[in-house]
Each structure stands twice: as structure tokens, then as C-alpha cells.
Amino acid sequence: MLSPPVIVWLRADLRLADNPALHAAAERGPVLPVFILDETPPLRALGGASRWWLDKSLRSLDGALRQQGAPLILRRGPALEILQDLIAETGAREVVWSRLYDPASIARDTEIKARLSAAGVACRSYNASLLSEPWEIATGAGGPFKVFSAYWRTAGPRAGAQAPLPAPARLRGLETPVRSDTLDAWGLHPTQPDWSGGFSEWTPGEAGAKARLATFLANAANAYGDGRDRPDKPWTSKLSPHLHFGEIGPRQVWAAVEAHIHAGGAAGSGAVFQKELGWREFNHHLLFHFPKTETDSLNPRFDAFPWRNAADEMEAWRRGRTGYPIVDAGMRQLWASGWMHNRVRMIVASFLIKDLLVDWRIGESWFWDTLVDADIANNIAGWQWTAGSGADAAPYFRVFNPVLQGERFDPEGDYVRRWVPELAKLPKSAIHAPWQADARVLSAADVRLGFTYPRPIVDHAWARDRALKIFQELP
């Protein structure tokens, strides 16, 4: 007779390799892997793009688990109730999971651990998502960091200390089948908008994550140091959604980059990439220690900011119709592919907040719905950084000029031409500021401002002065 199973509650660790909870469960007996779609408030409901990704990722994970002997069980509802049901159905006396670090998940998991432990069920949690736990990195006074450079001086030397775990060689499943929902019944794939075609560049799942990492190391890693800011070049890893869903872990990525460097890869670019992993760590560090930043500005001065939130301007921004080509290219890339280059994320965020005076929370909400890598910690930290209300903030120096940013980081205009095809015939001298172009240049490129492409919805120089004046007047 088999011993009671260990329930492995999978969350943002949708992989077999370097999954400490799954690894520990496999060593102790039969394994019952379960994914619970829990969107009980105050937990955030997934955005549309994330639902698209999760649907594909869970299908991939189920296939991998079935090959190992333990199919994935799907349940939907409040996690505590689902786990209690599974314990009653299977006789399980132990539940393991990988930790999450947003405030709502921490509160839920703390209650679950207390309730199950009181009922005699052992609960154990593990770190599968970060190189270091948020509480392990502290200032000399024992507090949290608010400045990345200081944080990374402490966290960086520790980052590669723990080697990734291998996937279990075999999992023992249950002899008696357990009821599972079907992914088709969950209806995660959104019907409006239909993103099925535009998202075809992605391969969700652990195998897709490993392939994406291998492609990056082979083709782009050596150019990353100087090229990571170029949206017109394929020089970023695009690992962010795979990391967010836990299809690959940061320890695996760190170790692979180290191996690449030791094999003769560009050490400078490798170190820059690892530092970007450090930013991801720092963002989780911030959210863990300052949980109110999910909804409130870290710097309370910004509570008095007089946001305009003009509906027509917000809609122009969402649809890529602002009249600033680099901004519009980024917003259209986001809508079509569920992803946006990081440099362009900063540009479009700065434009929304500084040029249009729209509350950063509105932009964060749009990214949450449309990004396949929508991550609470990264999304919040990025938007607050740009707003000037968060950590490492220097708002007077972060009013990005969209024309100069385009000319610097998309010098030939190739990124704009791809995503704003109505400007494709413009020469590079005009493509980032078509309203300044000679009428003959516009005519030759079939561009009619106000008809085929909008005029700027705001004058940047004027808007910059307006924003800086408001910043200076904040109490």
C-alpha cells in the first residue's frame, strides 16, 4: 500500500528542473501536483495576456508531468478550500509549495499554513523564484534597501551560491485517479482581442524557456552589454515571461550565463545581464518590504500629485496614436505581441506620466492586462521608478524626450517602421518627428499628418516644463 501523497501546490514554478518543492516531494513518496486558479480578492485576477500564456504553459507542464508519472490536477477556487478538499480525497498529510512575495499571496499562504498545520497537515515552502530571499539581503542597520546599487553590492556576490537542482528522474503518482478540471473549461484563452496570431512568436512552457535561453546565449548574449537598449535589434533575452511563470528559474539562468562566460563569452555583457537579473531581485525585495507600494507611492510626496487623466489622451496612448512614433511603436508592439522592449517601456511610461500627467497606476493596470510577463513586483517598481515616486527616484532627470530617445536607440528607424507601417517610407531623418518634416518628404512617403498618422497630441517641450513645475511645487 502506498503511503499518503505529498501535494505539490504549483504556482509560479511551472517546471520540473530546479523546483525545490517538487524535488523534496519526489524524495518522500507519491506526488500529487496541483495548480489552483485562485483569484479570490484581494489576489489580483490575471490579465488577458497572462491568461493566454498560462493556458499554454499548463498544457506543457501537464505533458511533462504525465511523462514522469504524475499528471497535473487542475482546480479553480479559493486555495484553502481546494487544498482541504484534496487532503480529504487523498489522505495527504503534507503540502509543499514555492513561495510568492506579493502581499496578498503572503497573507493567503500564511493563513493556509496556520489552518492546515492546526489540522495536522505539514506545510513546507521553498524558494524557487529568486536568487536570494527578500529578507536575506539587508543594510548594515538590518533594514531593507531602497537604492539598487547598494542592494546589488550586497546581493550580487551571493547570487550564484546555490546551484540549480535537476529534474526528478521519476515521479510516483497516485494509484487512484483524482478529479481534475480541464483547461478548455477554464477558458483562459481570451476571445477579445484575438491574440492567437500575434503571440505566435512565443513558446510557453519549460522546453520553450530552455530554447529561448539557448538562443539568447548563442546569438545575442555577447552583444547584450551595448545592445540591450536597442529595440531595433534582437539583443535581449525575452526570458521575462518564462521567469515570471517559473518555466525557468533565475538560478538556472545565472548558471547558464556563468558557463557561457567561462566558455569564452563576453564577460562584460554577461555581467550586465546578470545585473539585470539583480534588478528583478531588487523589485521583489522592494515589494516584500514595502507592500503598500502595490497601490501607494513609495514617496508620499506624490500623493498630492494633480493627475489630469484625460480619457482621450489615455486612449490615444493605449492604441499607439499619440503622434510620437517611438511611443506608438511600443504600444502597438505590446498590443500585437504581449511584450515590449524594456527601453521602450520606460519611454512610453514617461510619456504617459510626465507628458500627459496620467496616474502611474493607470499605466500599470494596462501593462498588467496586456503583458505576457505581467509581474506585480516588476510592474510596480518599473512604473514607480519612471513616475519618480519609487526607489532610486530622480524625477527631474527622467522626463524622456521621445524624439531624442527614438533617434538614439532606433537610429535607422527600423523599429518604428515595423510597428508603425504607415511611416515606413519616411527617411530616418524624419521618422522620429514626422511633423517637423518637409511637406515634400511627407508626400513622397504617403504620410498625411492628421489623416494617415496623427499629429502629436501634446507638445513635448511644453509638457516637460509643465511636469517639472508640478514636481517643484509638490509639498
Q: State the catalytic residues.
A: 276, 279, 307, 342, 360, 383
Amino acid at the residue 140: G
Q: Assess contact for 6 and 94: CB atoms under 8 A.
A: yes
Local structure of residue 10 (DSSP, 8 states)? E
Cα 271 from Cα 159, distance rounded (Å) = 12
Radius of gyration of the chain, Cα coordinates, nearest whole angstrom: 24
Alpha helices in 249-387 (DSSP H): 250-262, 267-289, 311-318, 325-337, 342-350, 360-370, 376-387
Residue with cell 511603436: 329
Contacts of 370 (CB under 8 A, 6+ apart): 47, 48, 49, 334, 335, 338
Cα 454 from Cα 276, distance rounded (Å) = 35
Amino acid at the residue 57: S
Nearest CA among 286, 302, 292, 385 for reference residue 342: 385
Cα 50 from Cα 374, distance rounded (Å) = 7
Burial class (CB in 10 A: 0-12, 13-18, 19+), 358: buried
Q: Assess contact for 94 and 15: CB atoms under 8 A.
A: no
